[in-house]
Amino acid sequence: MAVVVITGCSSGLGRLVAMAFARRGDRVYATMRGRDRGRELLDTAAAEGLVVRVLELDVTDDASVQRAVDQVLEAEGRIDVLVNNAGLLHFGSVERLPDELMRSTFDTNVFGAVRMLRAVLPAMRLRRSGVIVNISSVAGRLPAVPIVWSYMASKHALSAMSDALALELEPFGIRVISIEPGWFRTDIVDKAWRPPAGDSPYRTLDAAVVATMETAVNSGGEPEAVADAVVDAVANDDGRIHVIVGYEAEFLLDQYQSLSEPEMTSFYKELIDMAAPAPVG
């Protein structure tokens, strides 16, 4: 029975990951920015006769992270698995994406994971045991799509961090896994900031990319498959750091590995229908 801490559990994938570990019989600490946001998760767990513990934790706040981790360590004496799941996406061109949204993307997706690691790793190193799971994306292995660049850049950073972390932690008996899904039906796009049309010179491209992402996510696979992949990767060490999840992720990565750079650019243009003329300005 492992002690599992998961970030970003108020909805979407985090909630499913929490339930997947709970069904395995683990002691699950599902964290989120406000405990009141965990009612649905608690009700779902109770309906199945399972126990999930909800903790308040904001990955962008050092004190909040340390407070929550200390609570778990005081109650359990250890943390066996950390799942860095909290993440967000904002749409916007390099020129027009507001600075505060650019920073919030990295503060949550990258520095939030680092905060969690700094709080959890000392206890794992002392026990010379543990598993770190970073929920990245196949987007972190591909050239960036316009308008989604900040999200993809943050996932590139998270995937690169996983590579470095795996080598840093191997001497301490701690495994690192980067889960890299393709398109699955979650609410990440619904929650994303979208650039106002207005007189933006990128408004045609903004609209095309947002529409493409909405269609891809809404027609994507069931997110339970990602939660199952997380649990399976923790339970079965096959030596991999990067775990690709879903047909679309495998297809996109195969395209990148087999196409030339100009061919990949043409593939992206076709994918997001960039044939429409750009507005003047």
Q: Which residues are catalytic?
A: 151
Question: Residue 113: enclosing H or E segment and its boundaries?
Answer: helix 112-127
- Rounded CA-CA distance 18/43 in Å is 13
Rg (C-alpha) for the chain, rounded Å, is 19
Q: How many CB atoms lie within 10 A of CB 68?
A: 22
CA angle 74-75-76, nearest 5°? Answer: 100
Exposure string (b/e) for 254-280, b if CB count within 10 Å is 16 or more? eebeeeeeeebeeebeeebebeeeeee
Strand partners, 130: 174
Is 77:125 a contact under the CB 8 Å cutoff? no
Place of tokens 């997706």: 109
Torsion of Cα atoms, 89 then 118 then 74 then 22, to 10°: 40
- Rounded CA-CA distance 245/184 in Å is 10
- Rounded CA-CA distance 208/201 in Å is 13
Report which DSSP code applies to 172: G
